[in-house]
Structure 1
């Protein structure tokens, strides 16, 4: 069993019973986003979570990970559901997303000073199946993992931007506003954000316990 909260964890939302973040961040559920049956349920129309961005400007070593389960896959090439996004403007952003246009699938993506870099390899999930997904930066390389398998990696140039908009889960931005084509349809749980590159090689996806990790963190 993996300890979810350690000195490198800046957010951990089990999302199994409520919106409690065991690192103390305050999250807001929008529209009908709610925790049900042990996961955050999102309708793909306008549901999402948000939190102020300050704790998540963590430099050039980071890991964004969660378990996700699609309730449907988009039928349009334009529709690109986002698992999360950090955003300053269209030229400086970072997201875990899915584009099912025959060339992307699930992926991690950065845009730094107008230059986009994607870690992708045509991985298309099965509806109704849980997957662990992790987007990682270590130095000048980004990595994207699904179920502990390295799907893709890519060289990235430039420092991770300083983001200014709220971090969103289940949604994405465009032109300084939420993009109606980017809402995630399905379930998300065990969201963990870390200020370190936890994975650069294939790994066994973590199994987080339900015990009070907040208490454990206080005595570390």
Structure 2
């Protein structure tokens, strides 16, 4: 389990709930404010995650041979960078230094990026699509805990991520070579455990007791359900 250092403890009323969204089905609200991280942790992690997506996608541009695919990857990278900068601007508006808030999470989130970086470009594209999708959903669920600041972060995260082009590249590769299907399905299943560990580590307690586990279960159930739908949309088994 990753150990997360907690930053300044600002008093903010926190209520963690699953947001209403079409692909998650019925709305379920889960109130466990004692588990939600402080607002500095929330903002620092959210900002650094978006920077990580940008970094990973940017690294894929040079080795990608097709010009149209280079453009698609660059657009998705640009969307992540836009969200990163928007969260940084919000942090600065609050009078904080974004580097101070992000620095505690650099090491664990960089380790997460390395562990989910595939040996092949298609695996890494799938990593970004799956991990960013799950963690964006999780941070959207967290966002309702932080009042107006949380609503602004939610608006940022709901912005266009331009990752559908990555899905198109993946599905085209599967259509051209059926062997990709089983390989990417296996890779997609591998990503889930590492991604859920990152989500769990974002919660205030480093370990959860049985009662706390029951409180968070609906959120993680929704994350897994959305993951399954993302995989199915690409013709992959979750």
Note whether the superposition's TM-score is higher than 0.5: no
TM-score range, shorter chain: under 0.3
Identify the structure with the greater strand proportion.
1
More helix by share: 2
Pair member with larger Rg: 2
TM-score, normalised via structure 1 length: 0.27
